[in-house]
Structure 1
Amino acid sequence: MSWNVSRVSSLQMNQFNRDYISQATLALQKAGQELSTGLKADLFADLGPRASVALTLRAREENTQAYTTSNSLLESKLEAMLISVDAVRDQTSEVLELSLVSASSSSLGAGALQAQARAALEGTVATMNTSYNGDHLFSGTASDQAPLTRWSEVNATTGLSPEEVLSDIVGTGPTSVAEADAMISEIEAFFASTNSADPDRNFEATMYNGTPLLDASGDPSTRITARINEGQELVYGVQANDEPFRETLKGLAMLSLVDVSQIEDSATYTRWMEVVNTALSSGTQGALESSSSIGFNQQVVATTQEQLNDMSLVQRTQISDYESVDPYEAATMVSSLETQLQASYSVTARLSQMSLLNYL
């Protein structure tokens, strides 16, 4: 009687089975992950050199999403700016209407002008001090501080309030055309910030706290800009020291400082009201132009957002082509591996129960 001895021992067979089961288990885990996520578990192993293309596309998509998010914030910011500018224009228009009616005679409602102008002045300052997400909208690049000092509030830097500076100029009001012209000249110098004799008595010292119109070199200061796409910047800064708002504040201040119904000389009254109405009209028109500019910027951002969304769709489709797995293939692979593992477990179990003694 002869015996045939296998060249592979039972120990080796068990080791082979364990190795196979370990590899199949790892493959099943990978296939299960791909089935649940819909994405390749090991991008570099599956794509090889093409993995760099997928990574580049994903980096571009992240950049696109960053622009989309920042532009959404900018859209909200522009909307807040537009609402604020329109509110200032509406308040000014109401005062201008009454002022125009009273332009030729103090008997036609001039007595109500001072109170209405003071309310509009306070409202304009409060509106221009609007902030969004902690940034003051009309302070220029110095957005960490409110642009305008309130009318009766003392400026911490100069120790003066806007009302105090301008009241020193006007006193009890003009009594003649010459006196009115002298006061108007000083008031204009204040709002133009051209008082070199006493710089503290300038608009951009006592009343305005944001980015000045001109830098230390006398050049226009840098305006707030936003990068809305690769290679595309948008200059959108509207400041409280822009001419339309300085004109608005000047006209409202002139009415707040002087009860024009008490100006007895008709020529002086007419001269004062002429300057007031010119300033308010200029401010209203300028505010309308600022609103149009903001609206144009809103359209630019909206168009850019559409382009970014289209680009994102293309990029995400391309990324999916590289990184996604076929769910049917993934499910088939999982099923096949499960079957193989079950068979391997069954064989291993049978081998473990086998013994030479069973055949003796």
Structure 2
Amino acid sequence: MSAISFGDMAASLRNMRMTAQVKQDLDRYNYEVASGEKYDLAEAVSGDFAPLASIERALRTLSSYDTAIQEASLFATAMQTSFESVSTHVEELSSTLMTASTNADATSVSVAASDARTRFDAVVSTLNTRIGDRSLLSGTATGKTSLISADDMMADLLTAVSGATTVEDVGIIVDDWFMSAGGGYETVAYQGSANALSPFSLGEDETVRMDITALDEAVRETLKGLALASLVDEGVFENDVSAQASLLRSSGEALMGAQSGLADLQARVGSVEARIEEASLANTAMTYSYETAKSEIISADAYESASMLTQTETQLQLMYTLTARMSQLSLADYL
């Protein structure tokens, strides 16, 4: 019985086709080993990309929420830090002012008043803190600085109390300037909006509000207390140490009263920070779940891919070796 064999041309074509297939397999396993993902996703999902598309869409949504959460966290942290700084100034200065008013000597009064003026500048600067291009305490007018400068505020206050002759008169004028609706603080000092900042989105149907502005009563009480003592440093009752000491006492008492309000503000911001942290943890957990589900669909078996890569490389080397040997065959070798 005669054997049927391939002709030279057919054998050559067959070898070319096999070599191309092995090279394609080599590319496939190289990709899977390097990326950890399956080379042919269509085969992996049996042609149905709907589940994978749904997962990708969910991950993009969670990523956008993560960005919003980070922004809200940064805003809340900056606000908390600002109020902590203001609270520290108030706590330290209030005791200094009470001591100076009790001593009632020119040196103590002068030193305490100078300290108050310096801290007044620092507190106004802190309340004007911005994150990027957004003001913390300006409400919806985030592009505007919350307050005018401490120097400008003090200049307006000096004009307001210029006709006052008693400590009580100064106290009433300053209280009216800071605390009354339509007073100097609202019309001159505050540059933001009366409308609170829009809520931050933390997730689907979940938002958090940071609606504190420099119009808050605790902020105004704090600035009023600082301003009373700062007026002494600006020369109010310059020749009456007793009156200046009395004004320092009023300032110290106002600041002591403002501490509880500042503590409330810090507690409100702390509550917001806690909600943001919870949202962040939930978002991270959801992202992990979707990433795991996606990985189960697209990830290649690392061990299997590495084994097949080694096998394919060996097969390709063998084919090249056989081809090289066959190319060296000649009729003279058989004669």
Instruction: Evaluate the alpha carbon distance shift between residue 127 and residue 355 of structure 1 in structure 2; reply closer, same or farther with a 3 A threshold.
Output: same
SS at match of 2:140: coil
Q: What CA distance in whole angstroms lies between the structure 1 residues aligned with 2:220 and 2:309?
A: 73
Instruction: Please give the alpha-carbon distance, in whole angstroms, between the structure 2 residues aligned to 1:335 and 1:176.
Output: 93
What is aligned with 1:230?
204
Q: CA RMSD in A?
A: 3.6
Contact 1:244 1:286 in 2 (8 A): yes
- Kindly tell me: are residues 14 and 204 of structure 1, through their superposed partners in 2, closer, same or farther at Cα, counting changes over 3 Å? farther
Q: Deviations over 1:95-152 (max 9, x none)?
A: 3334455779966965555323212211111221223344333333333343222222
For residue 154 of structure 2, the aligned residue among 149, 163, 166 is 163
Secondary structure of 2:143's counterpart equals coil
Alpha-carbon deviation of 1:264? 8.8
Question: Quick check: 88-97 or 106-115, which moved more?
Answer: 106-115
**How much does 1:340 deviate?**
3.3
Indicate the SS of the match to 2:49. helix
Q: Which residue of 2 aligns with 1:207?
A: 189
Match of 1:322 in 2: 297
Q: State whether residues 160 and 173 of structure 2, in contact with CA within 8 Å, keep that contact through their aligned partners in structure 1.
A: no
Deviation at 1:319, TM superposition (A): 1.7
Higher helix share: 2
Q: Does 1:247 align with 2:243?
A: no
Whole-Å separation in 2 of the counterparts to 1:57 and 1:260:
72
Q: Does 1:115 align with 2:96?
A: no
Partner of 1:29: 27
Q: Runs of 5+ in structure 2 lacking a partner?
A: none
Say which of 277, 286, 289 aligns to 2:261: 286
Which residue of 38, 41, 44 maps to 1:46? 44
Write out the 4+ residue segments of structure 1 that deviate beyond 6 Å after TM superposition: 102-105, 272-275, 355-360
Q: Distance in 2 between matches of 1:83 and 1:262?
A: 39
Deviates more, 1:291-300 or 1:71-80: 71-80
Letter in 1 for 2:91: S
Letter matched to residue 204 of structure 2 = E
Counterpart CA distance in 1 for 2:113 and 2:256 is 17
Whether 2:310 is the aligned partner of 1:335: answer: yes
* Percent identity over paired residues: 24
CA distance in 2, matches of 1:84, 1:204: 21
Equivalent pair of 1:34/1:325 in contact (CA under 8 Å): yes
Equivalent residue of 2:200, what SS?
Answer: strand
Choose which of 97, 104, 124 in structure 1 pairs with 2:95: 97
**Which TM-score applies when normalising by structure 1?**
0.76
Deviations 1:249-307 (A, max 9, x none): 122223322446856998x997x678645643443221111111111122212222222
Q: Take 1:261 and 1:91, find their aligned partners in 2: how far apart are those partners? A: 25
Alpha carbons of structure 1 residues 242 and 17: separation in structure 2 relative to 1, 3 Å = same
TM-score for both structures, normalised by structure 2: 0.81
Counterpart of 2:280 in 1: which secondary structure?
Answer: helix
The within-5 A match list for 1:174-189 is: 174-175=165-166, 180=169, 184-185=172-173, 187-189=175-177
Unpaired stretches in structure 1, ≥5 consecutive residues? 153-160, 196-201, 214-220
